[in-house]
A and B are shown apart, each in its own frame.
Chain A
Amino acid sequence: MKLNVEAIQGKVVAKVGGSMDTVAAPSFQKELETWIAKGDKAFVVDVSELEYITSAGLRSILAVAKKIKADQGTISFCGLDGMVKEVFEMSFFTQMFPIHGTLDEALGS
């Protein structure tokens, strides 16, 4: 898994790539939690480079989302494609979270 997190236009953008599987998912959660702890409230996860996700990845995302929600923050996703999109749809994550086509759209929302 590749993960790059930076502040863009007042939002925290986490660009995740590669595989978000059983082994990798906890590091995503840990990294995002450090940003939450710093007081950031607006998060965008860009999954356009993510090729593979399992329920462990979904679990990390949900754990992070619960923390953000508890702080009255927001989390949205962009760049869903391929099997990642399919897994999001099956799990109803596409109904739980705002989904945008591109990062620009997510930043503008």
Chain B
Amino acid sequence: MDSLRLPATLSSLPGFRDHVCSAVLGLAPDVDTGMLEMALEELLVNVVNYAYPEGSGDIEVETEARGGALRIAIIDAGLAYDPTETTPPDLEAGIEDRPIGGLGVFLAKKVFASMIYRRDEDKNILELSYAPPPSAPG
């Protein structure tokens, strides 16, 4: 298992992205990581924005290859927040009625094979599983 711990700030996002992408490319060298980067960013930005309203804290991202898939854990010691409980957005609404926001977690749920949340003492632990898609031609 590889782990990376960085401050919960937007400037940490590239480091986390590289950490996870290199783990995925170790499993599937040809995979297009765009969707994975987006999904990871959605979840990390939520932690950056909401976990530590009173000050600063860290985020830890663990990666581990398991049987062709990648297990990713996002861990913080901030306010309890379970993204799996997020209400899905109204996708059918027109421009005027469509609420702004609420798409981030929805998109992440589409990309990860599974997303399991648990609160462990004072920590949020979000366990993700990512199965690299078959490479697109070209």
Contact = CB atoms under 8 A, between A and B. Distances in A.
Interface in A43-78: 51-56, 58-59, 62-63, 65-66, 69-70
B89 to A, nearest CB: 8
B34 A51 contact: yes
Contacts of A83: 32, 34-35, 38
A91 B103 CA distance: 7
Contact of B37 (A23, A52, A62, A86): A52
Contacts of A86: 35
Interface residues of B, number: 24
A83 B13 CA distance: 19
A64 B32 CA distance: 30
A80 to B, nearest CB: 13
Contact of B38 (A53, A59, A69): A53
Contact of B95 (A54, A56, A96): A96
A59 B101 contact: yes
Contacts, number: 63
A66 B95 contact: yes
Contacts of A52: 34, 37-38
Contacts of B66: none
Nearest to B103: A55
> From DSSP, what is the main secondary structure of chain A's interface residues?
helix
Contacts of B37: 52
Contacts of B54: none
Interface string B1-45: 000000000100100000000000000000010110110011001
Nearest to A63: B100
A22 interface: yes
> Closest 7 interchain pairs by CB?
A83-B34, A55-B104, A92-B91, A55-B103, A69-B95, A54-B38, A65-B95
Given A63-B100, A90-B106, 10 more contacts: A52-B34, A54-B38, A56-B104, A59-B101, A59-B103, A62-B95, A83-B32, A83-B34, A87-B35, A90-B110
19 contacts: A54-B41, A55-B103, A59-B103, A62-B98, A62-B100, A63-B100, A66-B96, A66-B100, A69-B95, A69-B96, A70-B96, A83-B35, A86-B35, A87-B35, A90-B107, A91-B107, A92-B91, A92-B92, A96-B95
